Amino acid sequence: MIYPVSADELLQRITSQPEDGNIWLVIITPTQDHEDLVNDLYDTLGIFIEGSIDALSGSRGLDSLLEALNRSEASYSILAGFKSWGASDWQKLDRLRSRLMRRRGACMILDNYESNLLFRNAPNLASWIGPRVYPFTYGTELLTEEEQQSRLQSFQQWSGQTDAEVIALAETQSLPSDPEYGEWLVLLGRGDLIER
């Protein structure tokens, strides 16, 4: 059994987390997709969650990242750029885990090699992350026509509303901020109506 997540599911998971939960997760995806994923998450999370978001890089080393995390007032951080990190960097992050406090939390975007380094050398951090390790592949968010219809039906059942009613609410900026509505509008081809 493999449970890759789609972008929508990632969004749902992060938005379902409590606002001051300090919940961290790991997204595993090939290195070539890291930049796109950081940008996509930054844009979409910014719409759906309360509080500010920042995207921080580990490319300048651990001390620099820790400093950036301490200075940042964002409630959620997207972290990537761990290519240059070796075992000793992850070991140090593990020792300094008490300093990793984000109001809402953070996601770390890693490839397979970087994940292996983290889980080998940072057992305390790994324990803290727990089950929240999600493989992600671009393209898995594309549903078939049948899957899209099924998804739309489940939204209609959940809310008791029709597609037309949801569009009308979105046009008058009266739509609740639940992430389900965002996905609903995207499936209807009306992603243009998504706003904070």
- Concatenating the DSSP letter of every residue in 46-99 gives HHHSSS-EEEEE-TT-HHHHHHHHHH---SEEEEE--TT--HHHHHHHHHTGGG
**CB 27 within 8 Å of CB 140:** no
Question: Does residue 95 touch another protein according to CB under 8 A?
Answer: yes
Number of residues that this document lists for the chain: 196
Q: Tokens 């992060």 sit at which residue?
A: 14
Site residue total, another protein (CB under 8 A):
47
Question: Does residue 141 touch another protein according to CB under 8 A?
Answer: no
**φ and ψ at 109, to 5 degrees?**
-100, 115
**CB 173 within 8 Å of CB 179:** no
Binding residue for another protein, selected from 64, 70, 84, 124, defined by CB under 8 A: 124
C-alpha 132/C-alpha 21 separation (Å) is: 14
Question: Which listed range, 68-76, 77-85, 162-170, 176-184, lies at the site for another protein (CB under 8 A)?
Answer: 176-184
Binding residue for another protein, selected from 68, 74, 133, 152, defined by CB under 8 A: 133
Binding residue for another protein, selected from 139, 176, 189, 196, defined by CB under 8 A: 176
Binding mask 1-40 for another protein (x = CB under 8 A): x-x-----x--xx-xxxxxxxxx-----------------
Question: Does residue 123 touch another protein according to CB under 8 A?
Answer: yes
Instruction: Retrieve residue 86's tokens.
Output: 């070796």
84 vs 124, which CB is nearer to another protein? Answer: 124
22 vs 57, which CB is nearer to another protein? Answer: 22
Q: Can you list the positions of beta strands (E) in 88-167?
A: 105-110, 133-135
Q: Catalog residues that contact another protein under the rule CB under 8 A.
A: 1, 3, 9, 12-13, 15-23, 91-92, 94-99, 101, 115-121, 123-124, 126-134, 154, 158, 176-178, 180
